[in-house]
Amino acid sequence: MPKKNYLLTPGPSPVPPEVLSRMAEPIIHHRTPQYQEIFKEVCEGLKFVFKTSKPVYTFTSSGTGAMESAIVNFLSPGDKVITVDAGKFGERWGKMAAAFGLDAKVIKVEYGKPIEPRQIEEALKAEPKTKAVYTTLCETSTGTAMDIKAIAAVVAKTNAILVVDAISGLGADPLDTDLWGVDIVVSGSQKGLMIPPGLGFMSVSDKAWKLVESAKLPKFYFDLKQYKKSIDKNDVPWTPAISLVIGLREALRMIKAEGSMEAVWKRYANLGEATRQAFKGIGLEIFSSRPSNAVTAVKSPASVDSEKIVKIMRDEYGVSIAEGQAEMKGKIFRIATMGYISEFDIAVGLSLIERVLDRLGYKFEFGGTIKAFQESFVKGELVNK
Ligand SMILES: *Cc1c(COP(=O)(O)O)cnc(C)c1O
């Protein structure tokens, strides 16, 4: 029998067949009423997912392009910023700030822990000229969700803007952009939004827009003023990734069909919780002290190199999960519960993880993950009820 592939990685994540077939349709031209109609629906759908009444800009880039856009459009060389480094992706904010000549205060947080909002409060007090705070909703490398609501409450009291990388967290971890007062949210297409890689997104508050006029960092492709001019006409300045946008319309329709983002968040909260319970069911520990519902990072048993688990699962069985990055290499593995990954996909992943752990000499009772997983759903609110 041919190998059946399962993608349980925190980006790219699987794409629903309905979306794939729409993307296979013949290409259409983008400077047409037909395309503008599609893009208009996409922009509305993005506002629904981002929980904002402000426009959400779409870039042809991976998520990192949207991150870069969230720097170059709002700041000038030498501007003071705070970046939170609680993992590989928070570290990226710091690297970008350095690349663009910003004066960055990097707050280092132990991997697996969230930043305490108090730490940001203190850093802002120490440097009142800070223009922006850069952090992450779900730190994908550690499976940690930051307390964005509390951080936003702290930043809102100052002149600084809050920028949140929600590339992996969007859709799975709660993020109430307007209500919480998050100024800029950036995301990408290949995680919770259920389409292939290639699109980046950014929402911008009125407070953040005020910085656009004075920002002197060089930019051209990501120049937000160009995007603002065209978005009112349901257009973009450069040729868009037409097929991805058409796929996105389909994916957004699926999300909207659930009624509210609160309902979507709840579904992933149940799935995330059941997944965490599953690993505890065979005596394993969750790496994060404030786990995200988009991805679960699990500590590998002391005797087992997590790289081996990932490699055997992928190369011998076609089931992809993710390794630990940087100093977490070999010590943790990560399984995604975002986008088009259902409870049944996770059940497949869990049963294979058990087989592989057994092969690698870890002692536990077979079926322990699945038992705890099932019990969590039956005790909690069942996803498909
Ligand atoms: C995946 C990811 C990124 C990087 O996005 P690319 O699409 O690879 O550029 C950035 N931040 C977080 C939190 C991510 O999970």
How far away, in angstroms, is 89 Cα from ligand 1 center?
A: 7
List Cα–Cα distances, 363 to 30, 282, 284, in angstroms. Answer: 58, 9, 11
Q: Does ligand 1 have an atom closer than 6 angstroms to the CB of 188? A: yes
Cα 242 to chain centroid, rounded: 22
Other beta carbons within 10 angstroms of residue 176's beta carbon come to 17
Q: Give distance in angstroms: CA of 188 to centre of ligand 1.
A: 7
Ligand 1 pocket check: which of 64, 186, 293 to mutate, most ligand atoms within 8 Å of Cβ?
Answer: 64
Contact (Cβ atoms closer than 8 angstroms) between residue 57 and residue 68: no
> Ligand 1 centroid to 359 CA: how many Å?
33
* 168 C-beta closer than 6 A to ligand 1: yes
* Residue closest by Cα to atom 15 of ligand 1: 168
Q: Using CA atoms, how far apart are residues 38 and 55, in angstroms rounded to an integer?
A: 15
- The Cα–Cα gap between 309 and 300 comes to 9
- pLDDT in tens for each of the 385 residues of the chain? 888 999 999 999 999 999 999 999 999 999 999 999 999 999 999 999 999 999 999 999 999 999 999 999 999 999 999 999 999 999 999 999 999 999 999 999 999 999 999 999 999 999 999 999 999 999 999 999 999 999 999 999 999 999 999 999 999 999 999 999 999 999 999 999 999 999 999 999 999 999 999 999 999 999 999 999 999 999 999 999 999 999 999 999 999 999 999 999 999 999 999 999 999 999 999 999 999 999 999 999 999 999 999 999 999 999 999 999 999 999 999 999 999 999 999 999 999 999 999 999 999 999 999 999 999 988 766 544 4
- What is the model's pLDDT at position 383? 47
SS (H, E, C) the chain: CCCCCEECCCCCCCCCHHHHHHHCCCCCCCCCHHHHHHHHHHHHHHHHHHCCCCCEEEEECCHHHHHHHHHHCCCCCCCEEEEEECCHHHHHHHHHHHHCCCEEEEEECCCCCCCCHHHHHHHHHHCCCCCEEEEECEECCCCEECCHHHHHHHHHCCCCEEEEECCCCCCCCCCCHHHHCCCEEEEECCCCCCCCCCEEEEEECHHHHHHHCCCCCCCCCCCHHHHHHHHCCCCCCCCCCHHHHHHHHHHHHHHHCCCCHHHHHHHHHHHHHHHHHHHHCCCCCECCCCECCCEEEEECCCCCCHHHHHHHHHHHHCEECEECCHHHCCCEEEEECCCCCCHHHHHHHHHHHHHHHHHCCCCCCCCHHHHHHHHHHHHCCCCCC
Cβ contact 46:199 at 8 Å: no
Nearest residue to 160 via CA among 194, 126, 196: 126
CA distance linking residue 2 with residue 318, whole number of Å: 10
CA of 64 to the centre of ligand 1 (A): 6
CA–centroid distance, residue 323 to ligand 1 (Å):
15
Nearest-atom number in ligand 1 for the CA of 11 is 1
Closest atom of ligand 1 relative to the 137 alpha carbon: 13
Q: Which of 67, 111, 134, 167 to mutate to test the pocket of ligand 1 (most atoms within 8 A of CB)?
A: 167
| Ligand 1 neighbour 89 (Cβ under 6 A) | yes
| Long-range pairs for 101-109: beta carbons < 8 A, 24 or more residues apart | 101/77, 102/71, 102/75, 102/77, 102/78, 103/78, 103/79, 104/80, 105/80, 105/81, 105/130, 106/82, 107/82, 107/83, 109/84, 109/85
Distance 352 CA to ligand 1 centre (A): 27
Which residues are CB-contacts of 260 (< 8 A; sequence separation ≥ 6)? none
User: Domains in the chain and their CATH numbers?
Assistant: 6-12+260-384 (3.90.1150.10), 17-256 (3.40.640.10)
Q: Is the CB of 62 under 6 A from ligand 1?
A: yes
Q: Does ligand 1 lie within 6 Å of residue 187's CB atom?
A: no
Q: Give the pLDDT of residue 385.
A: 42
159: amino acid identity, one letter: N
For 137, residues 6+ apart whose C-beta sits below 8 A from its C-beta are 145, 146, 148, 164, 165, 166, 168, 169, 170, 173, 175, 185
